[in-house]
Amino acid sequence: MIEEILITARDNAKVDPYLNIWTWEISIYLFLGGMTAGMMIFAAWAVLAKKDDLAPFASNKLALWAPIVLSIGMTTLFLDLEHKLYVWRFYTTLQVTSPMSWGSWILILVYPVAILQVLSTLRAGYPKLAQLAERLPLVTPVLDISESQKRRIALASIPLGIGLAIYTGILLSAFSARPFWNTGILGPLFLVSGLSTAAAFVLLATRAHAEKLLFARIDIGLILVEMLLIALFIVNLTTGSEAHLNAARLILGGEFTLLFWGWFFTLGLVIPLLIEILEVRGSRLALVTLGPVLVLVGGYLLRQVMMDVGQVSTWTQYESQYDMQLLQRLER
Amino acid sequence: MQRREFLKLSGTMLATAAAGPTLLSGCSQKRLPGSGQVTTSPTICNICFWKCAGVVYQEDGKPWKIVGNQQDLHSGGRLCTRGTGGIGAYQDADRLQTPMLRVSNKDGQYFRKASWDEALDYIAQRMRSIEQKHGNDRLALLSHGSGGDFFQTLLQGFGSYIYGHPSYAQCRGPREVGFALTYGEEVGSIDRTDMENSRCIVLIGSHIGENLHNGQVQTLSEAINKDATLITVDPRFSVAASKSKHWLPIKPGTDMALLLAWINVLINEGLYDRDYVARYTQGLEALTEHVQPFNPEWAYLETGLDPELIRTTAREMARNAPATLVHPGRHVTWYGDDTQRSRAIAILNALLGSWGCEGGFYIPEKVKLPEYPIPKPPPAKSDWKKIIQPEFPLSPSGISQSILAACSGDNAHIKGLFVYATNLPHTIPNSIDMIKQAAQDLDLMVVIDTMPAEITGYADVILPECTYLERYDEIRNVAERQPSLALRMPAFEPRYQSKPAWWIAQQLAKRLELEQYFPYQDYAEVIDWQLRQVDSSLTEMKTLGVKNFERKTAMYFREGEQIRFRTPSGKIELYSKTLEDNGYDPLPKYTPPQQPPNKFYHLNYGRAPAHTFGRTSNNPLLFELMPENAVWINPLVAKDWQINNGEYLRLQNPEGTLSNRVRVRITERIRPDSVFIVHGFGHTSKSLRLANGVGASDALLMSRVLVDPIMGGTGMRGNFVTFVRES
Amino acid sequence: MPARYAMVIDTRTCIGCGDCVVACKTENNVPAGLNRDWIVEATRGRYPNLTTEFRSERCNHCSHATCVYACPTGASHYWQNTNIVLVEPGKCTGCKACIAACPYDARLIMHPQGYVDKCTFCHHRVARGQDPACVSSCPTHCMHFGDLNDANSIVSQLLDRRKSRALKPETGNQPNVFYLS
Ligand SMILES: Nc1nc2c(c(=O)[nH]1)N[C@H]1C(S)=C(S)[C@@H](COP(=O)(O)OP(=O)(O)OC[C@H]3O[C@@H](n4cnc5c(=O)[nH]c(N)nc54)[C@H](O)[C@@H]3O)O[C@H]1N2
Ligand SMILES: Nc1nc2c(c(=O)[nH]1)N[C@H]1C(S)=C(S)[C@@H](COP(=O)(O)OP(=O)(O)OC[C@H]3O[C@@H](n4cnc5c(=O)[nH]c(N)nc54)[C@H](O)[C@@H]3O)O[C@H]1N2
Ligand code: SF4
Ligand code: SF4
Ligand code: SF4
Ligand code: SF4
Ligand code: SF4
Ligand SMILES: [Mo]
């Protein structure tokens, strides 16, 4: 028998009894960041592939939502900071070894391009809004220029979108201290999931039947790829070091098994996959909106699962000999 | 361990959303410790009685830290965990703040705040009335710690000589009596063990490491560094056992059998120090004959220890002799035959020739420091020891529970009791009823404490003493390896209305016209006067803190030196005529301990390095280190009972007394026939806001007290408990 | 060559007393409820064949400090090019990336102010030529501190002479707290 315990009370906030530094704020941010990326990519693709007819929403309307969604994500990211007044410190330096530093600069690059994407499609997508905006000085020439550069803007959006989505994965996978995160697959996985949630967004938002079918097909493909990546992710963990194996155990019979397989995998991937397949096959189910909603839920759950399991997975784990609640008495 | 669950997710979201975004908070540049205005002053730690010298640091007028005094050989210049946490005693928000008087109204009794004048007048007036009704010899003192001496002076001046310390009948009394009977001298505090030079150390129970007496710990680790052989006899895999070459996981209460077997091996294999034994001891023949039946095979049946292991360890001791120390232990009130067990240990050491030899027991020396001249107190009107502890003629000291017992009944000898710095309900086993009765029957009960400990609840008057960091006390002058003096002086102003013991005693003396026993304005004058007698001064000591002096005498016996021991025979008495004459066994005998009833376990207890008894359980710094005690349970037992690690349950003794709820620690480090808890927890005083209700009290479970027939010690190890599940 | 500071702790004499923990708390005014160091007890075997080891643990001041690399602002940094890892509160956003990046869970968020705080190897003492507070308090003298780049330092000598190990070297962080056995 091995008994390894802490014999001095240790109750460091957010570290004990298990790491709990990041909660919903970061999950939301990762989720919305991935979705933003997907939106930018689809919007750009629609422009470049000239899908105005087949995919009117993606071509002209989708772009508007990217900066909005991203802004919400960045707000929750800000909410997570413990030292909020010092947020500007992100932008006084570029720390080359820090994915988070890269990420904050990527966001700075993504924002203007996402806005340009909006401007270049605004008149076509939201004419009323454009009219309103054009009452302001300078807006008309700006819209004119943007529209003229539409393809260039779209071209720039794709790599930035991919960068943003992959970065949300790399942010986590770069942490060698968290075995559950520490695999190369999180980047692609988050990219695919970001695309899938963006596709689901289109499915919910568009009224065009053809676009629905198109994006349902796309989403089915994406979900299948996502499942494949998850399989790879697990293979990766289970063939890794002891620490990685322990991390894998958390979702393979461990305490997060239900969360991972029951909620995320089944509810967030399998069921929407089935619904979308049915839809593509033409069955007129009342459930059609449920499919994309579940994809969104699944997209969020993926981040939440990663957040929770990743933080619990660790190299060192000691049990405390004492009831840490007692330390609250110190606030007498 | 609790872990996040999926369903908690929504909870977290709600909670955080409700709390709103975290405040936009900033922070100023963090200042490095010690970059402000730093001042220091010397102290002597009072968190236990080892008396390490330390230095108190303040930064910008605020308490910062206490560290060891580098010049202090007594503590190796370092404090222990509890000493380092000493600042918490000063900071404790639950300290006693003002004097309190017990008053009654129609709803019953309660304490109310009182001024010092009021409280002291009240005490003086009660003392006077006791004197008038019963005589001036009817007051007693139970104390632990140096401040008690001021009250002893007061009471002696008054005419009362009755006093006792729990460090005798609840602690080291048996070993002092056992060693005095054998060598004519006590071991004394601090223990005169020469461990840093030992080649072989035998620890019988003594759990140095958890028992954090600084000098003991440091010299033991020095011995480990020098590759000395450690042999630890303990039913629990103690810290010391984990450092030992040989761990003897003895069946509880059978140490005497092992000791006799060791003596048997040493004698029968001719391994004892013939020269030493011939020169210094008497009684070998009787001893030889006495131990014949007690061979290792016999001992195996009692102790469960492999006979070969008993032989091997005996030979190992002999090989390293005389630099072999069979440690005398310290808290030795275990099974009621404790003086005799201490005698066996003393005898074993004599056979190894370790007493007075390097690596065994050194000869301690202290500074010849004159006492401040005060008048001799009046002669005693009665022989209190004959009156209250007649059954223990060989006991040189007051026996706390006998004193307590003499406080109740119509014919009680004691009418007024002072309790200084000892928390009797947790200190004397099975004493609650005695204390309650005494509180009923006494005309006066005064408790002088720093904390609202349980004992304060029984007092008529509670007096708040300031902590050691806020007062002068006697100069430290202990007999040890290196004579030295050390100063305790106030580092801080006393908080609230607390006052030092010397001041309280002096103020009472004034009211009783006994001021001649306290002829000074400030106790600092006494210290200064005494220091000047040895070419120092208070001013000098305020900067030094500690002053070391040359030894004047040898630390060990010289080769072939003739020595007259202070025993009746002038020899080391392997065979004790004194015991025989008083009707006790002249040579130690083994009595098998009582076994626990079915489903019960030996209640084992001891120290944890983070705490001193119950006096630190409310100290915020030490509470934070170790907030509760746990009950150690062997995995086999846990399996039987289907008990889980970390769950809470209660312990119950055969009389049905239930402990507080206590956390379970399942560990291989305890025998399956025992459970272990750290002493000092399970407080019931609501005013101890950190410690109240936390952990189990060993004391409150001790219904079976095995009184030592020779010196009156309260053997505490014969108790049993079972588990009661929380429903 | 900048110093490579290391702590070498002898588990043969460490008794798990926690003095190092209290000394750190008082020296560095660590707020109630937070700890920069802690004691682990590891017991192996079955009664009565047992071993027990005590380890005083803290930040390992890794030569390859993943916490420093993860920090987006440079608030986590190496002190004066040594391996002592510090946090500069004025640069810290409280993003907690460094906490996640420490494989030893050796960092802590210091409430209420919101920046990350951690063991500093008591650089304020080291700068004055003193040992860290924990080292200089240890009653068994089982803790040692010094520069591994100095072959004569006590830590270099102990690591030369005695068998030692660091915690989980497989993290790749190159920890600099060593345990003698
Ligand atoms: N069940 C059980 N009983 C035991 C023991 C055991 O292990 N188990 N151990 C025994 C041993 S070895 C001993 S030595 C005794 C110790 O017995 P005690 O010395 O009685 O033990 P404490 O619980 O520390 O009680 C000390 C009291 O003094 C107060 N105090 C602390 N500092 C000061 C001060 O500076 N001034 C004043 N006026 N008061 C102060 C504390 O608040 C506390 O109420 O207990 C013995 N009794
Ligand atoms: N941290 C800390 N240190 C202290 C104190 C403190 O309060 N806190 N108090 C100080 C004081 S006043 C004293 S007197 C000393 C007491 O310290 P010690 O003299 O060391 O006390 P013991 O009763 O010998 O120690 C308890 C050990 O005895 C073992 N034991 C139990 N039953 C038996 C048995 O039947 N046989 C044998 N061989 N062993 C048994 C237990 O498992 C435990 O390991 O500690 C001193 N040091
Ligand atoms: S051994 Fe520890 S608690 Fe006791 S006097 Fe020394 S420093 Fe204080
Ligand atoms: S102070 Fe020393 S002996 Fe005590 S736990 Fe810390 S390292 Fe170990
Ligand atoms: S132990 Fe953790 S906090 Fe310390 S330097 Fe290494 S990675 Fe950073
Ligand atoms: S919490 Fe502070 S120190 Fe840690 S990574 Fe973020 S900015 Fe750097
Ligand atoms: S080195 Fe200093 S900061 Fe680090 S644990 Fe030790 S005392 Fe604390
Ligand atoms: Mo004691």
% pLDDT > 70, chain A: 99
**Model pLDDT for residues B121-138, shown as the tens digit of each residue:** 999 999 999 999 999 999
Q: Is the pLDDT of residue B2 over 70?
A: no
B694 to chain A, closest Cα gap in Å: 9
Q: Give A286's contacts (C-beta < 8 A, 6+ positions apart).
A: none
pLDDT at B377: 96
Encode chain C (181 residues) as per-residue pLDDT tens digits.
899 999 999 999 999 999 999 999 999 999 988 999 999 999 999 999 999 999 999 999 999 999 999 999 999 999 999 999 999 999 999 999 999 999 999 988 876 689 999 999 999 999 999 999 999 999 999 999 999 999 999 999 999 999 999 999 999 999 999 999 9
Per-residue confidence at A317, pLDDT binned at 50, 70, 90? confident
Taking the C-alpha atoms of residue B570 and residue A275, their distance in angstroms, rounded to an integer, is 102
**Model pLDDT for residues A101-112, shown as the tens digit of each residue:** 999 999 999 999
- Residue carrying the six token digits 């993926």: A302
pLDDT at C111: 62
A residues 56-115 closer than 8 Å to C (CB)? 80-84, 86-87, 89-90, 92-93, 95, 97-101, 103-104
Q: Contact, B573 vs B282, CB < 8 A?
A: yes
pLDDT at B7: 35
pLDDT at B13: 37
Q: Residue A143: left if φ>0, alpha if ψ -120 to 50, beta else—which one? A: alpha
Taking the C-alpha atoms of residue B664 and residue B641, their distance in angstroms, rounded to an integer, is 12
Taking the C-alpha atoms of residue A227 and residue A188, their distance in angstroms, rounded to an integer, is 12
**Model pLDDT for residues B60-78, shown as the tens digit of each residue:** 999 999 999 999 999 999 9
pLDDT at C33: 86
Q: Is the pLDDT of residue B417 over 70?
A: yes
Taking the C-alpha atoms of residue C95 and residue A86, their distance in angstroms, rounded to an integer, is 10
Ligand 1 contact via B326 beta carbon (within 6 Å) = no
Per-residue confidence at A283, pLDDT binned at 50, 70, 90? confident
**In a domain? residue A214:** yes
**What is the Rg, in whole angstroms, of the alpha carbon atoms belonging to chain B?**
27
C145 to chain B, closest Cα gap in Å: 17
**In a domain? residue A6:** no
pLDDT at A331: 86
Neighbours of B63 (CB within 10 A): 17
**In a domain? residue A124:** yes
Count H helices and E strands in chain B, helices first.
25, 26
Taking the C-alpha atoms of residue B236 and residue B603, their distance in angstroms, rounded to an integer, is 12
Instruction: Give Cα A107 distance to the centre of its chain.
Output: 13
**Mean pLDDT value of segment B12-33:** 48
**Model pLDDT for residues B652-693, shown as the tens digit of each residue:** 999 999 999 999 999 999 999 999 999 999 999 999 999 999
C residues 136-175 closer than 8 Å to A (CB)? 167-168, 170-172
Q: Contact, B256 vs B299, CB < 8 A?
A: no
**Mean pLDDT value of segment B178-191:** 97
**Mean pLDDT value of segment A148-169:** 95
pLDDT at B146: 87
| Two tokens, residue B295 | 């061979």
Q: Which domains does chain B have, with CATH numbers?
A: 170-364 (3.40.228.10), 601-725 (2.40.40.20)
Taking the C-alpha atoms of residue A328 and residue B690, their distance in angstroms, rounded to an integer, is 9
pLDDT at A288: 72
Q: Is the pLDDT of residue B14 over 80?
A: no
**Model pLDDT for residues A4-16, shown as the tens digit of each residue:** 999 999 999 889 9
The bound ligand whose nearest atom lies closest to the alpha carbon of C73 is 6
| Two tokens, residue B403 | 């004193």
A128 close to B (CB below 8 A): no
**Mean pLDDT value of segment B582-591:** 98
**Which run of H or E residues covers position B13?**
helix B8-19
Helix (H, G, I), strand (E, B) or coil at A268: helix
- Assembly ipTM: 0.95
B13 to chain A, closest Cα gap in Å: 7
How crowded is the C-beta side of B105, counted as CA atoms within 13 Å? 5
Q: Is the pLDDT of residue B18 over 80?
A: no
Nearest CA to ligand 1 atom 5: B427
Neighbouring chains to A with at least 3 Cβ pairs closer than 8 Å: B, C
Q: Contact, A307 vs A27, CB < 8 A?
A: yes
Indicate the CATH number of C5-180 among 3.30.70.20, 1.10.3720.10, 1.20.1600.10, 3.40.1190.20.
Answer: 3.30.70.20
Q: Is the pLDDT of residue B595 over 80?
A: yes
**Model pLDDT for residues B504-536, shown as the tens digit of each residue:** 999 999 999 999 999 999 999 999 999 999 999
**In a domain? residue A117:** yes
Output the ligand 7 site: residues, CB below 6 A.
C 23-24, 27-28, 36-37, 58, 119-122, 132-134
C21 close to B (CB below 8 A): yes
Q: Whole domain around residue A220: which residue ranges?
A: 18-313
**In a domain? residue A326:** no
Q: Is the pLDDT of residue B6 over 90?
A: no
Residue A16 corresponds to which amino acid? D
% pLDDT > 70, chain B: 96
pLDDT at B31: 83
pLDDT at B29: 56
| Two tokens, residue B490 | 């106030």
Per-residue confidence at A287, pLDDT binned at 50, 70, 90? low
**In a domain? residue A147:** yes
Q: Contact, C178 vs C9, CB < 8 A?
A: yes
Mean pLDDT rounded to a whole number for chain B: 95
Q: Contact, B167 vs B51, CB < 8 A?
A: no
Among B79, B191, B615, which is best to mutate for testing ligand 3, by the most ligand atoms less than 8 A from CB? B79
- How does DSSP classify residue B309? H
**Mean pLDDT value of segment B635-664:** 97
Taking the C-alpha atoms of residue B390 and residue B336, their distance in angstroms, rounded to an integer, is 18
The CATH number of whichever domain residue A191 belongs to comes to 1.20.1630.10
Nearest Cα residue to B412 out of B137, B709, B712, B710: B137
**Model pLDDT for residues B227-261, shown as the tens digit of each residue:** 999 999 999 999 999 999 999 999 999 999 999 99
Q: Contact, B450 vs B466, CB < 8 A?
A: yes
**Mean pLDDT value of segment B452-465:** 98
Locate the domains of chain C by residue range: 5-180
